[in-house]
Amino acid sequence: MLQGKNILLGVCGSIASYKSATLVRLLVKAGAHVKVVMTKDATHFITPLTLSTLSKNQVLSEYFTASTGEWNNHVELGLWADLFIIAPASANTISKMANGLCDNLLTAVYLSARCPVYFAPAMDLDMWKHPSTQNNIQKLISFGNLLIKPAYGELASGLTGEGRMAEPEEILEYLDSEQTPALPLHGKKALVTAGPTFEAIDPVRFIGNHSSGKMGFAIAEQLFSLGAEVTLISGPSALQLKTAQIKRIDITSAQEMLDAIHEHFSDTDITVMSAAVADYRPKEVASEKIKKDSSEFAIELVKTTDILSELGRLKRDGQILVGFALETNNEEENAVKKLKKKNLDFIVLNSLKDEGAGFKSDTNKITIIDRHLQKESFLLKNKDEVAKDICIKIIDLVR
């Protein structure tokens, strides 16, 4: 859920600041763009160089960077951020935030931020329990800030009790859960197919096509970013998912894809069939490698199951089914026939006649035709952008 988010991390002077390195690494791994602002005291516990290396951005702690002559604009930083997380948040900084004190870059950014602000306190037991600290925390919550509660455990002083900063993994999970409900596809299950299928001729040869899977992978990533729980069924592809939370099922043949789809389709709200499934397979598969003993060789082919037609037949009310049509002639006429015959909600048409569209390329040019035969054509775009256009249409149907 943090993919592509601009996240500002504030680090205060606390022994718990060593956890900030892990938090930055986890945020970057989740796909976020991370910038770090430190208080001067925080630099005594963890070096700016460590956090700069992990975030791949300069770490800021002063209004003015003497070495570069650059003014660090607290207003721009506050406006840049989609989320502002202060972890660890010391008792001192919490007090300043609660009372509007602005004597360092971090608190100036806090007062300028228009995004949600999360704070994860870290302090000793008696400091945490002190009425002034509790009063300041309640003030921050009343301002709309979000508390990530400290944990119970052994503290740096040797005492045991509340005050330990939440673990970075817990903070990441909390942030994820906070983002999810606001997303338009939250609570929906999506199934996406991608790539080619390979139909075996013998142990070393197959019938296949040139599909790379790029379009299907982009759609799966986009559906996940919109809040859906996504399962991707992929034919043979060298591509890797950016998002570990997407469930990936690898298959080889059309029959294996059909079997995998049958396991998930009945429980799915949205199904996008972008895979290039073979229409035919060899009737017999040789158990040994076929030798080239003659100048001619014939293979008898039989039809594979039309998976999209099967799903159109099984589709229940409320399910969204999207198909693709890659055509070389009579493009719109053939796409409309497929749309009607297979009971689709809409079909994504692309033509091999369009330069930059089709298999393997990083771009695509599509036309979307819905069941009411309303047509919308798009310019040539990167496949990630094409995936966004397709998902906007899906969101309209979900509403």
Positions marked catalytic: 209
User: 374: which 2 tokens?
Assistant: 């309303």
Among 47, 121, 64, which residue's Cα sits nearest to residue 90? 121
User: 23: which 2 tokens?
Assistant: 């938090």
Q: How far apart are CA 200 and CA 285, in angstroms?
A: 6
**Cα separations (Å) of 40 from 104, 130, 377?**
8, 25, 54
Contact in structure between 118 and 112 (CB atoms under 8 Å): no
Q: How many CB atoms lie within 10 A of CB 193?
A: 29
Give the angle subtended at the CA of 24 by the CAs of 19 and 30, to the nearest 5°.
125
Among 286, 279, 287, 240, which residue's Cα sits nearest to residue 257? 279
**Cα separations (Å) of 336 from 55, 191, 241, 371, 379?**
49, 23, 32, 9, 20
Q: How far apart are CA 237 and CA 391, in angstroms?
A: 23
Contact in structure between 210 and 235 (CB atoms under 8 Å): no
Which residues touch 320 (CB under 8 Å, ≥6 apart)? 269, 270, 271, 345, 394, 397, 398
Q: How many CB atoms lie within 10 A of CB 178?
A: 15
* Dihedral angle sign, alpha carbons of residues 202, 203, 204, 209: positive
Q: How far apart are CA 95 and CA 136, in angstroms?
A: 6
